[in-house]
Structure 1
Amino acid sequence: MRRTVRLLTGAALAAAVTGPLAGSVYAAGGTRLEVHPSSVVPGGSVTVGTAACGDGGTADGDASAVGAGHFTLAPGGHEGRATGRFEVPPSAQPGTYEIVARCSRGGREVHGDLVVTLTAVQPRGSVKTGVGGALGPDPVQTAAGVAALAVAAAGGTWLLHRRARGDGI
């Protein structure tokens, strides 16, 4: 009983301490520069946005780290966000680059990361976990699996029937 009380007291104390912090972490999340997509191939288009500049705020963006130069973030996004776009040059090298935006009012600076890769990775196919669906990508393997299960079921039923009759195995 005491151990349960200690666990519950500890959990309540942790919630009381992290509760106010969780709100400030969430609020701080609006001060980052969000980069979409976060991973792009050279020549691709990138959209950035932030709520850090306030309602109707604008910002000057700087993507010169990746070779794209300066761009403007204008109001018009949802929830008072300023958004902007730029193109990653075809000559960009793979790596992680910091994209910066400075709010026109107040000079607040926000940062975000952009990853440049040589090839776009698109998820496709199935995950081969060794466990899973009856229908795989190969119908021949599926048919062979179903046939093996049918033979095993028939053999097991025959053996159980013989055992029940007393014929032995």
Structure 2
Amino acid sequence: QFLEEKGLDGYIPNKAQAQVFKGNESTITREDYEYDPHTNELIVDGERLQFRRYSKYKSGKEVFLFATKGWKKKKEVPIHFRERLRMKAKIETPEGQELYLKRKYIVEPAIGNIKQNLGLREFLTRGLNSVKTELNLVSIAHNLKKVWKYGKKGVEAMNVDAALRNLLLRFRLFTC
């Protein structure tokens, strides 16, 4: 919904699709349904479930309840299920799969390196501007490490890890 409001073109898989993209078999079946907007019905395993009510739990979770006429079969879906179904269809196109695979190889390794190897799992500063500055410094460190690693070979490339860790630790102590 946020992406649509901002006019952004996002490709975010649901959990079942993410399992398939990882090369595993999908074990999640709760998202296996279709929606008929003309009759406002869900189609689950060939059965049509009519809209029954909107519910909001004490936890804040908001859902729509769909059920058969005799209430023998029921299904709760999140209130943004229409957007999720549109995103699911978008990801299943060849263009969507290609773009998602690019994200997997370009963006996620950088974030993984920053979180796991550089140890930035939470920000140490407060306020949007100081957090942006902290993230920019860590991004610069990540990019410098890549430039150094691919520009140098052997022992010199291994020493840069220790140097960058020390630099980041000193920066963190300075900003605390």
For the criterion TM > 0.5, the same-fold answer is no
Higher relative contact order (CA 8 A, sep 6+): 1
TM-score category of the 2 structures, normalised to the smaller one: under 0.3
Question: TM-score by structure 2 length?
Answer: 0.24
Q: Which has the higher strand share?
A: 1
Q: Which has the higher helix share?
A: 2
Question: TM-score by structure 1 length?
Answer: 0.25
